[in-house]
């Protein structure tokens, strides 16, 4: 039998923490709120099927994905589970709505006609959620035009309206604008008097939206991505009441340790020059694994629980760090584990800190961890 090769760079996914997070988030919400688990982009790089299976067990009500391929993969493990497609479909994808029993997002009259035709041909209605653009400027019907689109949906015999939603543009930055978006959404819904909101999923809030969630009114579902992975979006203090735990750690190992003299340039372009005689470690991971080049000379990694700065440019497969300040009795050796994101010996590099160093956001950091990186799952059902 082939033995498993030693790991050079890997991600650890804590599914038990994921389950605890869902339950915590739920407990912080009014009891009637349903939980739409956003698992697009391979469940934010965690692995779609593994994450979705655990969230099904933990009691998610509905899954939201971006596209058909994700929906088909999810359908393999959850026959009958409701799946909402958040992104617009291409016309040649329409027929799969029925084949995979999916819920489509509707933003245009053209989509209403197309989905009605699909339902007619299949002999059963296609379920849709009406998306209203209240200021995101992306998918959705502009809120002032929603009344007409809503009437078209309700008049289509082969379409079943299952929900209505909007998406916030800056919930972590601008509560006043978020409030305005909520008002626009409610006003648009009020213009559709034939809607029975109690029969629909009515949702607006993503993770950051929870801070200003309105328990009153017709909202009865939330769409949670980042927070279920234990990452608090945006500025400090947000969502302080929901103490989730990180589910994702990103690790690599020391390849070699060596001493270099003061004045040596490190890595491509020699963007760092050693200011002292130094001990460096060459790690067995680079941007080919998802350590972005933008953290060159900016982020640190943990070795034996000590922060060690990245020196010079991150390369495709190797990254150099400064371990000069690690006490000599803590001998660093080839094979030692290093933490890019996560905890080690009481120290922590959060995904938010790492993303800040990379001049990006945690969502993108997670999506950038490449296929080369095996995901290892902690599956203990210790909830």
Ligand X SMILES: Cc1ncc(COP(=O)(O)O)c(C=O)c1O
Residue ranges in contact with ligand X by CB under 6 A:
38, 86, 167, 206-208, 223-227, 233
- 3-state class (DSSP) for residue 293: helix
| DSSP 8-state symbol, 225 | S
Interacting residues of 232 by C-beta distance below 8 A, sequence separation 6+: 207, 226, 238, 239, 242, 244, 352
Task: Indicate the residue among 75 and 223 with the shorter CB distance to ligand X.
Answer: 223
> 20 a known binding residue?
no
Report how far apart, in Å, the C-alpha atoms of 329 and of each of 54, 177, 280, 332, 345 are: 43, 55, 16, 9, 16
For 71-115, give the DSSP string.
Answer: HHHHHHH-TT--EEE-SPPPGGGTTHHHHTT-BEEE-SHHHHHHH
| DSSP 8-state symbol, 312 | S
Other CB atoms closer than 10 Å to residue 279's CB: what's the count?
17
Task: Indicate the residue among 245 and 337 with the shorter CB distance to ligand X.
Answer: 245
Backbone phi and psi for residue 20, each to the nearest 5 degrees, phi listed first: -60, -40
> 313 a known binding residue?
no
Task: Indicate the residue among 107 and 206 with the shorter CB distance to ligand X.
Answer: 206
**Of 34, 2, 28, 9, residue with least CA distance to 165:** 34
> How far is residue 164's CA from residue 174's CA, in Å, rounded to a whole number?
23
Task: Indicate the residue among 197 and 367 with the shorter CB distance to ligand X.
Answer: 367
> How far is residue 21's CA from residue 215's CA, in Å, rounded to a whole number?
20
Residues forming the active site: 40, 268
Q: Which residue of this chain has its Cβ atom nearest to ligand X in the complex?
A: 225
Q: Please state the closest distance from residue 207 (CB atom) to ligand X, in A.
A: 3
CB 168 within 8 A of CB 205: yes
- 3-state class (DSSP) for residue 163: strand
> How far is residue 249's CA from residue 373's CA, in Å, rounded to a whole number?
12
Task: Indicate the residue among 65 and 281 with the shorter CB distance to ligand X.
Answer: 65
Task: Indicate the residue among 89 and 227 with the shorter CB distance to ligand X.
Answer: 227
> How far is residue 305's CA from residue 346's CA, in Å, rounded to a whole number?
7
Which residues are part of a known binding site for substrate?
138, 316
């Amino acid at each position: 039998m082939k033995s498993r090769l030693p790991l050079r760079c890997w991600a650890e996914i804590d599914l038990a923490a994921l389950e605890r997070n869902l339950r915590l988030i739920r407990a912080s919400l009014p009891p009637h709120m349903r939980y739409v688990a956003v698992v697009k982009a391979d469940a934010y790089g965690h692995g779609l099927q593994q994450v979705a299976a655990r969230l099904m067990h933990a009691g998610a009500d509905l899954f939201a994905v971006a596209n058909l391929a994700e929906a088909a993969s999810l359908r393999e493990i959850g026959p009958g589970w409701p799946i909402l497609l958040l992104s617009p479909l291409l016309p040649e994808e329409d027929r799969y709505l029925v084949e995979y029993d999916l819920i489509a997002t509707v933003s245009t009259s053209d989509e209403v006609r197309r989905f009605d035709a699909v339902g007619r041909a299949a002999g059963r209605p296609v379920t849709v959620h009406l998306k209203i653009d209240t200021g995101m400027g992306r998918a959705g019907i502009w809120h002032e035009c929603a009344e007409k689109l809503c009437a078209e949906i309700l008049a289509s015999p082969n379409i079943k309206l299952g929900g209505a939603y909007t998406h916030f543009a800056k919930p972590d930055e601008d509560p006043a604008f978020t409030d305005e978006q909520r008002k626009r959404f409610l006003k648009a819904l009020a213009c559709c008097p034939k809607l029975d909101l109690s029969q629909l999923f009515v949702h607006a809030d993503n993770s950051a939206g929870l801070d200003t969630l309105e328990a009153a009114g017709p909202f009865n579902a939330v769409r949670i991505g980042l927070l279920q992975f234990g990452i608090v979006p945006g500025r400090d203090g947000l969502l302080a009441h929901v103490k989730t735990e990180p589910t994702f750690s990103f690790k690599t190992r020391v390849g070699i340790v060596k001493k270099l003299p003061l004045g040596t340039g490190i890595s491509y372009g020699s963007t760092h020059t050693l200011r002292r005689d130094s001990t460096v470690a060459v790690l067995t991971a680079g941007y080919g694994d998802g350590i972005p080049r933008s953290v060159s000379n900016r982020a640190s990694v943990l070795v034996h629980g000590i922060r060690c700065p990245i020196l010079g440019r991150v390369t495709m497969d190797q990254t150099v760090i400064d371990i000069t300040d690690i006490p000599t009795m803590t001998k660093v050796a080839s094979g030692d584990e290093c933490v890019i994101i996560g905890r080690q010996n009481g120290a922590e590099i959060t995904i938010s800190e790492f993303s800040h160093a990379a001049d990006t956001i945690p969502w993108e950091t997670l999506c950038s961890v490449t296929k080369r990186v095996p995901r290892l799952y902690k599956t203990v059902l210790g909830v």
